[in-house]
Structure 1
Amino acid sequence: MLLSRRLFCIGAPLALGACGFAPLHNGAAKRGQIAFDPPDDRVSLDLRNALEDRLGTAQSPLFKLSYETEIREDGVGITTDQVTTRFNLIGETQYTLRRLSDDSVVTSGVVDSFTSYAATGTTVATQTAQLDAQRRLVVILADQMTARLLVSLP
């Protein structure tokens, strides 16, 4: 039994390597190939920064990523006094990746997610919690976009 486990542990990686398997996040091959739209507000700045952290800053880009993010806020926790104490931030980003050489669309899509924050403290604490939730949401959206873009890149 122990011998068969050892053989599997040694043989499985060799078999995967023989079939052309390569990790998706092979950053050396795909890093720095995408230029991003310039940010026009805080959300798009945070999104661009998160994407650059994952995909690298474009030195000589082959692609251009355009995106538009919408975030809305829904009150979900309401007390008996009709005071909202919890909010959901719901975000959606539509994106298009174009090849710079001929402006053809490589891929496009929509990613969405949500996060929430509590509004039970002071005004400053609530604003800080809201900003933190917004940044968390942008990171989630950037992670989803990165996964889809890495699969789409040639």
Structure 2
Amino acid sequence: MWLSKRKFLLGALVLGLGACGFTPVYGPQGTGNRLLGRIALEAPKTPNDYAFNARFEERMGRASSGPYLLSVKKTVDQQDLGSTSTGNTTRYRLLGRASYSLTDAGTKAVLIEGQTDGFTGYSTTGSTVATLAAERAAEQRLMVILADQVIDKLILQATDLPE
């Protein structure tokens, strides 16, 4: 009995989404296809730029030139999060912010701009080499988080872009 109610509710939800004009973002009329392979990124200058660009191109495709250019300014701040009774820090939190602007490659007009925030952390309880590796891995995770959020925001606002 419980399973049949669940199937009914799921079916009603699917029908309700179809009736309200819901379109999958990567479907035939979805706004995600409008951006795939059409956004060129600035060349990476730092390891964080490289990690951000790699994730962005993994999801959106590579475009060495296209109708859009994405400029992203990334900042990363580090906070002490945990410490021992002797005052040694054992955990750090990385707070990241990506301020972005999508411009028309031809006219240089800003089409979409915004910012997004994310955080991640790492432990310092291992050796110096392990701590440095954990810090780098945390920075890479943070860049993936920021890239995913920028992509999501661009896709949501893609309906406002000129054809």
Kept after mapping to 2: 8 A contact 1:89/1:134: yes
Give secondary structure in 1 for the equivalent of 2:102: strand
Which residue is equivalent to 1:22? 23
Kept after mapping to 2: 8 A contact 1:25/1:150: no
The unaligned stretches of length 5 or more in structure 1 are none
Distance 2:147 2:99 in 1: 11
Q: What's the TM-score once normalised by structure 2's chain length?
A: 0.82
Kept after mapping to 2: 8 A contact 1:115/1:133: yes
Give secondary structure in 2 for the equivalent of 1:120: coil
Which residue is equivalent to 2:126? 121
Which residue is equivalent to 1:144? 149
Distance 1:123 1:8 in 2: 52
Kept after mapping to 2: 8 A contact 1:106/1:152: no
The unaligned stretches of length 5 or more in structure 2 are none
Which residue is equivalent to 1:131? 136
User: For the structure 1 residues 80 and 103, does the alpha-carbon distance in structure 2 shift closer, same or farther, using more than 3 Å as the test?
Assistant: same
Distance 2:107 2:38 in 1: 15
CA-CA distance at 1:101 after TM superposition: 2.8
Which residue is equivalent to 1:106? 111
Give secondary structure in 2 for the equivalent of 1:128: helix
Matched pairs, number: 153
The Cα offsets for residues 54-101 of structure 1, whole Å up to 9 and x where unpaired, read as 111116511100011111111111111111110111111111100123
The Cα offsets for residues 125-154 of structure 1, whole Å up to 9 and x where unpaired, read as 111111111111111111110110111223
Letter in 1 for 2:150: M
CA-CA distance at 1:13 after TM superposition: 4.3
User: For the structure 1 residues 19 and 82, does the alpha-carbon distance in structure 2 shift closer, same or farther, using more than 3 Å as the test?
Assistant: closer
Q: What's the TM-score once normalised by structure 1's chain length?
A: 0.86
Distance 1:48 1:16 in 2: 34
Distance 1:93 1:60 in 2: 22
Q: Bigger shift: 43-52 or 56-65?
A: 56-65
Distance 1:30 1:69 in 2: 22
Identity %: 36
Say what the alpha-carbon RMSD is for the aligned residues.
Answer: 2.4
Kept after mapping to 1: 8 A contact 2:41/2:64: no
Distance 2:114 2:9 in 1: 43
Kept after mapping to 1: 8 A contact 2:75/2:96: yes
Give secondary structure in 1 for the equivalent of 2:134: helix
Aligned to 1:43, which of 48, 62, 81?
48
